Amino acid sequence: MTRRRYWLGTGLALGAGISAGVMLWQREQRKLRSVSVPAQRARSLLERAAPLIRLPTSPGCEPQVLNNGSGLRCQETGTIYPYRRGVLDLIVGETDNTFTQDALDTPLTAWGYDAARGMITGLLRVQPFAEEFSDIQEIQQYRAGDVAFDLACGQGNFTVEIAKRVGDDGLVIGLDLSPAMLARAAYHVERWGLKNVFLIRGDALNLPFHDGVFKKLNCSGGFHQFPDLPQAIRELGRVSSSGAILTAGTFAEGTSDRYAAIKRRLKERFALHFVPLIPLGSELEAVGFNDYDWSMPGPWFGYASARKDSVHR
């Protein structure tokens, strides 16, 4: 009798837990589906961002903003790039994602990462978010009216904080490859009532922007996911203007790294790169960035910053 009661109680508790989890999940998905950018605001954002954008189908053609704010049109090919639920999709065709990129690109994993980021970073001995952004702000000095680029913006936590500082006269462009992450970013932008954020689904290895359009660039948590980091750095160099400032946070490898063997295995198995921070400075210098600085306060994660030469030699 006692055993029967135990199993009955266990079953009821398990059922209640599953039901609560399903209800929470459904509520989260309703939040994402509720995101809706009014047509007037959508058109305004598209008009502000369009001069910066280089369309994949026709890099030299100025995109046309659709009157109803539903996207951009390539005037040369007629291709429509839709703007839905706060995200402009500039990816054409299928993408060749790594294991890590695919793993994060599901509604469930994006939600889990968004909800548990603080706990995950704590376990990895990464700086608390407030301290991490404070360090970025000290370097970037975001001010009202700035146009800023947040590469690999994920769920938009850095994007939102940047947007608060550049004000309504400024513009923050967040770019990511993952629709699931961008959906969460769009939700957070809407939740904060921000009208100066433009989210793009795009490729870090072929950034959809004209040359030299950004003076402040941030990439927190992206370098270690790019399958071809040197190409991503070349693209950052191309779209940055003279005097531009770059800040980045990444899974990293330091000097005499005691975890180097483990990190190599993770790269081989999951395509999760641990960026060697000293060679990174040389790669950035090759595309015009100098004044390179880096730090690695814990065993897994590092931070880097650099400024672009006024004249790239």
Spell out where 138-193 has E strands: 147-151, 171-176
Mean pLDDT (whole number) for 194-203: 97
Tell me which residue has tokens 């295995």: 265
Q: 36-86: per-residue pLDDT in tens?
A: 889 999 999 999 999 999 998 888 888 999 999 999 999 999 999 999 999
User: 15-24, 129-138, 145-154: which range is least confident on average?
Assistant: 15-24
Domains located in the chain, CATH noted:
85-308 (3.40.50.150)
Answering whether pTM is above 0.85, one says yes
Q: What is the 8-class DSSP label of residue 61?
A: S
**Cα-based angle 114, 117, 121 (whole degrees, multiple of 5):** 165
Q: 152-188: per-residue pLDDT in tens?
A: 999 999 999 999 999 999 999 999 999 999 999 999 9
Closest CA to 226 of 137, 123, 97, 41: 97
* Encoded amino acid at 18, one letter: I
Which DSSP string do the residues of 217-285 spell out, in sequence order? EEEES-GGG-TTHHHHHHHHHHHEEEEEEEEEEEEEE-TT-TTHHHHHHHHHHH----EEHHHHHHHHH
CA atoms of 166 and 183, how far apart (whole Å): 22
